[in-house]
Amino acid sequence: MSLQSSSTTVTNPSLGFVGWLRWFWRQLTSMRTALLLLLLLAIAAIPGSLVPQRAADPNGVTQYFANNEELAPVLDAFQLFDVYSSAWFSAIYLLLFVSLIGCVVPRVKYHWDALRSDPPRTPANLNRLPAQTEFESTDAPEVVIENAHALLKRQGYRAVRYDSAVAGKNRLTVSAERGYVRETGNLLFHGALVGVLIAVGFGGGFGFAGQRVIYEGQAFTNTLLAYDSFNPGRWFSASTLTPYTVTLDSFTTVYEEQNQNAIGQPTDYTANVTTQLKGEEPTQAVIKVNEPLRFGDTDIYLLGNGYAPQITVRDADGGVVFRDTIPFLPQDTNLTSVGVVKLPDGLPEQLGLVGFFYPTVSEGHSGAYFSMYPDLIDPLLSFNVWKGDLGLNEGVPRSVYALDTTSMTKLTGQKTALDSLELRPGETVDLPEGLGSVTFDGVKKFVSLDIHNDPAQGWVLVFALLSLGSLLFSLFIPRRRLWVAVSPSGTTGSIVQIAALARGDDATLGDRVRELSDEMRKPSKT
């Protein structure tokens, strides 16, 4: 036997490897490793709060690159702008969960066996236990032990009798245990955490998140092409999009008018929409900031809003070359907004109009306009006109919210001979160089909708609540073993010994022993 084992360890390196793996697995699933990985995870999460993250704040990242030209690429190499999807962060939490599973599975087996077996035999020496007491009774040992047995059972203990003879004297004992649900709760808690992780991964993989801007009167059709931006999960398939349309009927904003400290602060946003599943009747619905619309397997959120001026451009002969409603992006709390009109066709040259919209216009000391209130009280639209190549034919995707002026000349506004074009609703002004005219027909409101689908979101919640519920059992149900041992004293009396042992934290162990002894010493109520 010894010969065999020593020869295998020497000649067979693969056993050494397996042994090494075993050792590694034991280390990984040890309590100390779990603790270190937890602390490491906490530390690893910190940098993502110090540096802007692509997923949460892409503009912040762009700006960070612009402000820190040298540092940013270095940080990027360490994935510091994508901390929570980085290789190192993932490695930590995956190791932690492997450790968790490796730690919990054997405990499930052990606990399963414990649940179906009797409490262990009463130790021979109860004096060594952390909490114990002793008293004498005038009742016979058999009476005392049967009382104790019944009492413990009534208190929710699993209790069994173990009797033995010690030095010719009968030693009658009860071994009792309670609080198995503490361990059950603990195992469920850890299992539910695994459930949360899996559900999160699953939802991210099969779901999607998209954005779309629509103005009053405009409809959105739920197809891939209709989204302004779209982030599918890894396994997302476009065929799962439910065909429906959402039309923005009206959008209302309420601004504070009474409170002097908050004039103009928005207090309510309401989007009234008409929704229609393909082939079904249209229905009315409302979307508010804290009240998303759950419709057609998607959740539709109201995340932004602003003004969309309606603009008509005519050529020198009065023919309409452009008529559209253009969402302008808000720049401040009083909704000074910026937008772009691109005119590639219909005029002798390509034109770009960079517009500023002021819902309630006011003039600063320098002569520059600003908006002093977010509602439409005295709206003004101003344009700077650019002439030249819009760059639309180069196959490069261009933002509809920005004008690339590298091959364009400015015709109006600052540093030109002409003033910016200024229009109030209903007004028409001529374009420079006799190119035609622009009309400001009116203003609509637009909303920016986030449209999501996360098929596992409900499961994440279920597992999270399961972990919270089982945590309560794991933390607040004490688990302890109690023993009562009775030996004869004199001819009819008994010596009673009570002892207890806690598994996990239980500061009230001593009290429980004392209470049990008080109970047992009460004159029996027969």
Partner 1 sequence: MTDSLSQFSVLALYSSMAVYAISFILFTLDLAGIGTAKYKLVSFGLSLTWVGFALQAAATVMRGIAAGRVPWANMYEFALTGTLMIVLVFLIVNLKWNITFLGSFITGFALLFLGLAATNYYVEVVPLPPALQSYWLVIHVFVATLGTGFFALGFALSLAQVLQERRERAVTAAEAKRWAWLSRFPDSVVLENYAYRLIIVGFVLWTFTLIAGAIWAEKAWGRYWGWDVKEVWTFIIWTIYAGYLHARSTRGWRGTRSAVLAMIGFASVIFNFTVVNIFFKGLHAYSGLK
Q: Which residues bind ligand HEM (CB under 6 A)?
A: 29, 31, 34, 38, 96, 99-100, 103, 186, 190, 193, 474-475, 504
Question: Which listed residue (17, 87, 472, 518) binds partner 1 by CB under 8 A?
Answer: 472
Q: Using CB under 8 A, which residues numbered 414 to 453 contact partner 1?
A: 450, 452
Instruction: Record the tokens describing residue 443, joined without a space.
Output: 């203003």
Cβ-contact 226, 212 below 8 angstroms: yes
Q: Residue 333, interface with partner 1 (CB under 8 A)?
A: no
Q: Residue 67, interface with partner 1 (CB under 8 A)?
A: no
Euclidean distance between the first and final Cα of the chain, in Å? 65
Minimum gap (Å) between residue 31 Cβ and ligand HEM:
5
Please give the size of the binding site for partner 1, defined by CB under 8 A: 56
Residue 421, burial from CB neighbour count under 10 angstroms (0-12, 13-18, 19+): buried
Which C-beta is closer to partner 1: that of 255 or that of 369? 255
| String marking each residue 169-208 x if it binds partner 1 according to CB under 8 A | -------------------------------x--------
Q: Residue 374, interface with partner 1 (CB under 8 A)?
A: no
The whole-angstrom separation of Cα 90 and Cα 233 is 17
Which C-beta is closer to ligand HEM: that of 176 or that of 193? 193
Minimum gap (Å) between residue 504 Cβ and ligand HEM:
4
Q: Residue 301, interface with partner 1 (CB under 8 A)?
A: yes
Q: Residue 209, interface with partner 1 (CB under 8 A)?
A: yes
Q: Residue 294, interface with partner 1 (CB under 8 A)?
A: no
Q: Answer with the entry of partner 1, ligand HEM, none that 468 interacts with (C-beta below 5 to 8 A by kind).
A: partner 1
Minimum gap (Å) between residue 42 Cβ and partner 1:
4
The whole-angstrom separation of Cα 310 and Cα 308 is 7
The whole-angstrom separation of Cα 259 and Cα 237 is 50
Q: Which amino acid, 179?
A: G
Q: Is 431 left (phi over 0), alpha (psi -120 to 50) or beta?
A: beta
Cβ-contact 239, 210 below 8 angstroms: no
Q: Using CB under 8 A, which residues numbered 128 to 167 contact partner 1?
A: none
Give the phi and the psi of residue 70 in degrees, each rounded to 5. Answer: -85, -45
Cβ-contact 230, 224 below 8 angstroms: yes
> How many other CB atoms are found less than 10 A from the CB of residue 1?
5
Q: Using CB under 8 A, which residues numbered 3 to 42 contact partner 1?
A: 31-32, 34-35, 38-39, 41-42
Minimum gap (Å) between residue 338 Cβ and ligand HEM:
46
Which C-beta is closer to partner 1: that of 28 or that of 140? 28
Minimum gap (Å) between residue 470 Cβ and ligand HEM:
9
Question: Which listed residue (10, 18, 56, 71) binds partner 1 by CB under 8 A?
Answer: 56
Q: Answer with the entry of partner 1, ligand HEM, none that 303 interacts with (C-beta below 5 to 8 A by kind).
A: partner 1
Minimum gap (Å) between residue 98 Cβ and ligand HEM:
8
Minimum gap (Å) between residue 35 Cβ and ligand HEM:
8
Q: Residue 95, interface with partner 1 (CB under 8 A)?
A: no
Q: Answer with the entry of ligand HEM, partner 1, none that 460 interacts with (C-beta below 5 to 8 A by kind).
A: partner 1
DSSP string, 68-88: -TTHHHHHHHTTTTSGGGSHH
Per DSSP, 397 falls in state: -
Q: Which amino acid, 216?
A: E
Report how far apart, in Å, the C-alpha atoms of 521 and of each of 62, 134, 181 are: 77, 11, 30
Question: Which listed residue (65, 78, 84, 473) binds partner 1 by CB under 8 A?
Answer: 84
Cβ-based neighbours of 476, under 8 Å, separated by 6 or more: none
Q: Residue 60, interface with partner 1 (CB under 8 A)?
A: yes
Instruction: Record the tokens describing residue 156, joined without a space.
Output: 């929710």
- Give the containing element (helix H, strand E) for 196: helix 180-206
Cβ-contact 310, 396 below 8 angstroms: no
DSSP string, 456-514: THHHHHHHHHHHHHHHHHHHHS-EEEEEEEEEEETTTEEEEEEEEEEES--TTHHHHHH
Minimum gap (Å) between residue 508 Cβ and ligand HEM:
16
Question: Which listed residue (6, 117, 267, 409) binds partner 1 by CB under 8 A?
Answer: 267
Minimum gap (Å) between residue 11 Cβ and ligand HEM:
35
Question: Which listed residue (349, 429, 465, 521) binds partner 1 by CB under 8 A?
Answer: 465
Minimum gap (Å) between residue 183 Cβ and ligand HEM:
8
Minimum gap (Å) between residue 199 Cβ and ligand HEM:
14
DSSP string, 260-324: TTSTT-EEEEEEEEEEEETTS--EEEEEBTTB-EEETTEEEEEEEEEEEEEEEEEETTS-EEEEE
Minimum gap (Å) between residue 378 Cβ and ligand HEM:
57
Instruction: Record the tokens describing residue 517, joined without a space.
Output: 């002894």
The whole-angstrom separation of Cα 375 and Cα 356 is 15
Q: Answer with the entry of ligand HEM, partner 1, none that 49 interacts with (C-beta below 5 to 8 A by kind).
A: partner 1
Q: Using CB under 8 A, which residues numbered 273 to 292 contact partner 1?
A: 288-292
Strands (E), 167-265: 169-178, 208-215, 219-221, 229-232, 244-255
Interface stretch with partner 1, choices 267-275, 323-331, 379-387, 487-495 (CB under 8 A): 267-275
Name the site residues for partner 1 (rule: CB under 8 A): 31-32, 34-35, 38-39, 41-42, 45-46, 48-50, 52-53, 55-57, 60, 83-84, 200, 209, 256, 259, 261-262, 265-269, 288-292, 299, 301, 303, 450, 452, 457, 460-461, 464-465, 467-468, 471-472, 475-476, 504-505, 507
